[in-house]
Amino acid sequence: MYRTEKKMRKIMSGLALASGLFLVSGLAHGSDAVSLRQYALDHPHQAPSDYVYRTPRVFPPEKAGINFSWDWLPGYKKTVMPAETGTHLKLRVRELAAQLLAGSKEPVAGELQVTVASFVNLDRMYETSALGRYLGEQMLHELQRVQVDAVDVRMMPAMQISEGHGEYALSRNMSELNYTHHADAVVAGTYAVADGQIFVNARLLENGTGLLLSSSSIVFEMDGVSAAMLKDASQPMKTQTYEVKIEDFPSSKEVAKR
């Protein structure tokens, strides 16, 4: 009887291992068991309360590898970020732009032509990410929204049309862009991440002199959206870069006065 029971235990153990990962859900029964919600482990039975600390076989989704997905595990529902999460980031950039304009000694709207650079990592000035590019993209919109003359240096002299794909007006390929644009000032920004917080600074700099015309800053807690946008951080270490001159040309009104 003992041998038969022992043999059955081995068979059941083998089946548990062969069946892959299981999701433990529901409440645990008994004082020596704990419920592990959204944790993957390779045993179908309830785990004792200290099981997580005894073995590396239990791991949360974020440590399960970049290709790991909970979608296939029975009973698991994928968490979807609420739409408001992205809207919050948009409103934070609006606050950053409002501070920038309010802090300027001279009026910006109607007076200066401004361009915007991608926001970069504070510790690595050539490194940016989807978050840094989005901050610059949204800042461009926020400036134009309040009647600031905003210049997008990525606009191509002519649109490109690709059959079966679409029509293109923006590019980062310098062979397709103008090398010189007129702008009086540029918005440059940085971001830093520490202890789950994201610190963002922006400044309005006068072209040619680098004079700080205005500055602004915000701090917000990292959420799922901002964390995802930070994952593709990179810098053009092996990519050829180009200089785009942004000069303060005299306006047509100034030329007429002369």
Please give the residue that has the higher pLDDT: either 116 or 243: 116
| Predicted pLDDT at 161 | 94
Of the candidates 213, 238, 217, 8, the one whose C-alpha atom is nearest the C-alpha of residue 105 is 213
- At residue 56 the predicted structure's pLDDT band, cuts being 50, 70 and 90, is very low
pTM score > 0.75 for this model?
no
240, HSE (Cβ side, Cα atoms, 13 Å): 4
Per-residue pLDDT, 22? 42
pLDDT tens-digit map of 116-137: 999 999 999 999 999 999 999 9
Predicted local confidence at residue 2, as pLDDT: 53
Architecture per CATH, domain 83-257, reads as: 3-Layer(aba) Sandwich (3.40)
pLDDT at position 69 is: 45
What is the per-residue pLDDT for 212? 96
pLDDT higher for 41 or 62? 62
Is the model's pLDDT at 153 over the cut of 90?
Answer: yes
% of the chain at pLDDT higher than 90? 49
Q: What is the pLDDT of residues 83-97, one digit of tens each?
A: 677 889 999 999 999
Choose the most confident range, by mean pLDDT, from 52-56, 73-77, 148-152: 148-152
Per-residue pLDDT, averaged over 27-33, amounts to 43
pLDDT of residue 236: 80
Break the chain into its structural domains and give their ranges: 2-63, 83-257
Kind of pairing between the strands at 149-151 and 212-221: unpaired
Integer CA distances (angstroms), 82 to 12, 88, 90, 231, 242, in order: 42, 11, 14, 20, 39
Q: Indicate whether 5 pLDDT > 80.
A: no
pLDDT at 177: 87
Task: Identify residue 221 by its one-letter amino acid code.
Answer: E
pLDDT above 90: residue 205: yes
- What is the Cα–Cα distance from 71 to 78, expressed in whole angstroms? 6
